DNA sequence: TGTCATGTTTATCAAATGATCAACTTCTCA
DNA sequence: TGAGAAGTTGATCATTTGATAAACATGACA
């Protein structure tokens, strides 16, 4: 469990006073086109301080760059993806070799969701790195729009933490269990536990959900966080698994496999997930192409946020 | 009429190919944190070109800076305004001496509306400089979300022009007449003209509308564009006028005055305007405080976008 | 109280950026 | 065809900016 500490935020959230300053600085810098020096004079502070305020604003997602092109995102690939896989929507971030794609995809996912979520909406979230990173970028939106979080699986509380970054009035309804427990019996007991049940039922009522996609490899997040052993992964692969959602492995057609593991997972049932109107998957990278293909074929998600290279590969493979 | 040419855009809209490039460059620059040199290499162009693409993106509103603070805008003043005048929402841009406030307010208004408007929505627009500037910043949004425009008054077509900046599929339903015509009879004839009538009826069904606020002074836009003479303005002032919406002058309580002029105006009737759920007024400056106060007291608008100084003055005067 | 550790501010400097001006291309009209 | 206008691209340079490291303040703890 200790390993999950690395899920915590690296930048701490700015307080109200700082938000005010960042907002002011950002306005003058980006909208008014003033120099940092001029802003420093107006705000009665030093130039370097302004520089840092802006940097912090960008990091935390308080300052968001929105690109208003054709379809909100970037490329014609988006429409092609929507058509090819019969999706509700898609976002494709431009290719950028040598830059890790997860944070970029997370940025796009955060931007997408921020745009779609309305005041007092409920966002259901799964487990995984992409999900976590996306949430971090969305923190300011949660405060602003009073969006509540509800978890689809156990193991989420570790990276939501007890910090108040999701605002004072916002509730985060999390399942207070690990993603996987040691026995089938325990898992069942937890699933019927009133509070857990309540959260899972609530999750099914969300208008939007955000999930990650796991690949079937030794470097999968599930393995790195100790939820699965490398041996298990190999076994699943031989059984035809190409990826996982919420801890459930599926084959190339997106059919959930019948695995012991699945009875050890504390999460919403995949069948229940499809009750949610908009299921957005955030994932990219060549190692995840198989997993994403299966996911989309099995209609386990209807919105995809990915990167350009992955999108091209998906379209090549499906065409 | 020729005077209205100055309403035209100064920056021409980028074409599809350029939008693609700008989008790519913007992603790498703002989201990935690359330098313009690196981007130039990736895109196979020169550094200076990238610099210009980014500049153009910012100018046209394609690249939009969104500040996700407390209430989407900036300051606690926003909540105070909402409370004091019983508004639906408010946006306040931070004070910046020596910078003209109209474009800044327009930016904020554009950002606000872009956020609120949904696909296939209809936006009703009035006449005036602030409205025109706001629309310019919103051009990319119109293309993206397929929002249609409908005019609340005559005289709008002059600044919408025949350019395709509002997208190929987007319709702009404009009243093809001046704001004011020379006789009462002509005005009435135009108002009952089927097409004009159709547009006005359509306008009343819009979910959002954007209007400017005119002050009662010789420097008012109405005077500068020749719709009113200085003598008329003086007369209106003596009759108690503090401002105008859509060419209709009202007093300090926001009651529309009974003026000959009003029978010469080709526009939706003020009573009809209030059928629109969300009426956003974009205006600021010390010379407009009286006009805005009257507007809000008479509930002629329920959303205000203004600047910090004006907001403070409004609150001082009402308190 | 002193010392160490932590975080914050301040100076310095190299890198990055936008403005200016010159060169070039493209198009128009005689 | 060629001169001229209008717009686009490229080079140079001053300004702006963020990174680095040093100084400073702050607070915990022996």
pLDDT value of residue B258: 95
What integer pLDDT is reported at residue B166 of this predicted model? 52
* A182 in the same domain as A47: no
CATH of residue A200's domain is 3.40.50.1360
In B, minimum Cα distance to A62 occurs at: B68
CATH number at residue B19: 1.10.10.10
Q: Which residues of B244-267 are buried (b: 16+ CB within 10 A; e: fewer)?
A: bbbbbbbbeebebbebebbebbbb
Residue A296 — pLDDT band, cuts 50, 70, 90? very high
Judge whether residue B314 has pLDDT over 70: yes
Is residue B65, in this structure, part of any structural domain at all? no
Please give the residue range of the domain that contains residue B24.
2-59
Token pair of B67 as six digits: 């500040």
> Under DSSP, is residue B305 helix (H, G, I), strand (E, B) or coil?
strand
Query: Beta carbon of A22 within 7 Å of strand D?
Result: no
**Is residue B314 included in any domain, yes or no?**
yes
Tokens encoding A155: 């193991």
User: Residues B25, B157: one domain?
Assistant: no
For residues B265-294, give the mean pLDDT: 94
Domain shared by A80 and A116, yes or no: yes
How many whole angstroms separate alpha carbon A100 and alpha carbon B224? Answer: 55
Distance, CA of A49 to C1' of C3, in Å: 30
Kindly determine whether residue A62 and residue B42, on different chains, have CB atoms separated by under 8 Å. no
- Do B220 and B182 sit in the same domain of this protein? yes
Does the CB of A48 sit below 7 A from strand D? Answer: yes
A164: left (phi over 0), alpha (psi -120 to 50) or beta: alpha
pLDDT in tens, B4-52: 333 334 445 667 778 888 888 998 898 888 899 999 998 889 999 999 9
Position B162 confidence tier, pLDDT thresholds 50, 70, 90: very low
Do B177 and B266 meet the contact criterion of CB atoms below 8 Å apart? yes
A71-80, A114-123, A305-314: which has the minimum mean pLDDT? Answer: A71-80
Task: Enumerate the residues of chain A whose CB falls inside 8 A of the CB of residue B165.
Answer: none
A55 touches strand D (CB under 7 A): yes
Please tell me the predicted confidence (pLDDT) of residue A253: 96
Q: How does the average pLDDT of chain B come out, rounded?
A: 86
A304 has which bridge partners?
A90, A281
Closest by CA position to A285, among listed A307, A303, A300: A307
- Overall domain count for chain A: 2
For residue A21, the Cα-to-chain-centroid distance in whole angstroms is 29
Tell which of B61, B67, B137, B166 to mutate to test the A interface (max A CBs under 10 Å): B67
Residue A146 lies in a domain: yes
Total beta-carbon pairs less than 8 A apart between chain A and chain B: 123
- Write out which nucleotides of chain C lie closer than 7 A to a protein Cβ: 9-12, 15-20
Q: What is the pLDDT of residue B4?
A: 37
Where among B31, B59, B87 does a domain terminate? B59
Residues A91, A40 share a domain: no
Instruction: Report the nearest residue to nucleotide D15, CA vs C1'.
Output: A35
pTM of the model: 0.79
Q: Which of B27, B141, B144 lies closest to A71 in CB terms? A: B144
Closest residue in A to B94 (Cα) is A24
Q: Is the CB of B21 under 7 A from strand D?
A: no
Final residue before a domain boundary, out of A21, A39, A59: A59
pLDDT classification of B163: cutoffs 50, 70, 90 = very low
**Do A41 and A185 lie in a common domain?**
no
Looking at the structure, tell me whether residues B35 and B134 fall in a common domain: no
Q: Which positions ≥6 away from B35 have C-beta within 8 Å? A: none
Kindly determine whether residue B72 and residue A19, on different chains, have CB atoms separated by under 8 Å: no
Side-chain half-sphere of B243: how many Cα atoms within 13 Å?
Answer: 27
Question: Is the CB of A37 less than 7 A from some atom of nucleic acid strand D?
Answer: yes
Nucleotide nearest to A55 (CA to C1'): D18
Say which residue, B245 or B160, is predicted with more confidence. B245
Among A84-98, A185-199, A204-218, the range with the most confident prediction by mean pLDDT is A204-218
Confidence band (pLDDT; 50, 70, 90) for B74? low
Cβ of B54 less than 7 A from strand C: yes
Give A243-300 as a DSSP string: EEETTEEE-TT-PBP--GGGGGB-B--HHHHTTSSEEEEE--SGGGHHHHHHHHHTTS
**Residue-level pLDDT at A7:** 38
* Residues A149 and A268 occupy one common structural domain: yes
DSSP string for residues in B134-168: HHHHHHHHHHHHT-EEEESBTT-HHHH-S-GGG-S
DSSP conformation class of B88: S
User: Quick one: which of A140, A160, A161, A136 has its CA closest to A16?
Assistant: A140
**Within this chain, do residues A51 and A85 fall inside the same structural domain, yes or no?**
no
State the CB neighbour count (10 A cutoff) for residue A37. Answer: 11
Strand ranges inside chain B, DSSP E: 63-67, 89-93, 122-125, 148-151, 172-173, 208-211, 214-215, 243-245, 248-250, 278-282, 303-307
Q: Which residue has the higher pLDDT, A16 or B192?
A: B192
The domain boundary, picked from A59, A82, A101, lies at A59
Q: Distance between CA atoms of A260 and A147, rounded to whole angstroms?
A: 35
Burial (CB count <10 Å: 0-12, 13-18, 19+), residue B307: buried
B278 & B310 share domain? yes
> Does B99 map to a domain?
yes
Same domain, B222 and B277: yes
Q: What is the DSSP letter of A73?
A: S
Q: How far apart are CA B68 and CA A141, in angstroms?
A: 6
Same domain assignment for residues B12 and B150 = no
Please indicate, yes or no, if residue A87 is contained in any of the structural domains: yes
Residues A191 and B36: their CA atoms lie apart, in Å, by: 52
- Whether B67 sits inside 8 A of A62 (CB atoms) is yes
- C-alpha closest to that of B292 among B236, B252, B319: B252
| More confident position, A79 or A284 | A284
Average pLDDT of chain A to the nearest whole number: 86
């Amino acid at each position: 469990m200790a390993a999950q500490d690395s899920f915590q935020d690296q930048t701490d959230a700015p307080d109200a006073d700082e938000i005010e300053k960042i907002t002011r600085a950002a306005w003058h810098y980006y909208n008014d086109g003033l120099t940092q020096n001029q802003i420093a004079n107006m705000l009665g502070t030093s130039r370097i301080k302004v520089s840092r305020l802006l940097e912090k604003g960008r990091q935390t997602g308080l300052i968001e760059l929105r690109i208003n092109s054709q379809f909100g995102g970037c490329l014609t690939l988006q429409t092609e993806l929507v058509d090819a896989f019969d999706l509700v929507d898609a976002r494709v971030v431009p290719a950028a070799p040598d830059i890790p794609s997860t944070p970029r995809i997370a940025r796009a996912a955060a931007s997408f969701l921020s745009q779609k979520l309305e005041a007092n909406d409920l966002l259901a979230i799964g487990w995984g790195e992409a999900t976590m990173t996306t949430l971090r970028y969305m923190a300011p939106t949660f405060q602003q729009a009073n969006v509540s979080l509800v978890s689809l699986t156990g193991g989420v509380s570790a990276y939501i933490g007890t910090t108040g970054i999701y605002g004072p009035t916002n509730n985060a309804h999390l399942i207070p269990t690990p993603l996987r427990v040691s026995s089938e019996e325990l898992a069942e007991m937890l699933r019927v536990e009133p509070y857990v049940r309540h959260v899972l039922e609530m999750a099914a009522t969300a208008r939007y959900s955000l999930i990650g996609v796991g690949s079937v490899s030794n470097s999968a997040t599930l393995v790195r966080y100790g939820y699965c052993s490398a041996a298990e992964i190999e076994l699943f692969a031989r059984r035809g698994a190409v990826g996982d959602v919420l801890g459930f492995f599926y084959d190339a057609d997106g059919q959930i496999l019948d695995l012991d593991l699945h009875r050890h997972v504390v999460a919403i049932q995949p069948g229940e997930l499809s009750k949610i109107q908009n299921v957005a998957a955030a994932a990219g990278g060549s190692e995840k192409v198989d997993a994403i293909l299966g996911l989309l074929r099995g209609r386990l998600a209807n919105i995809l946020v990915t990167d350009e290279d992955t999108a091209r590969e998906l379209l090549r493979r499906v065409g």
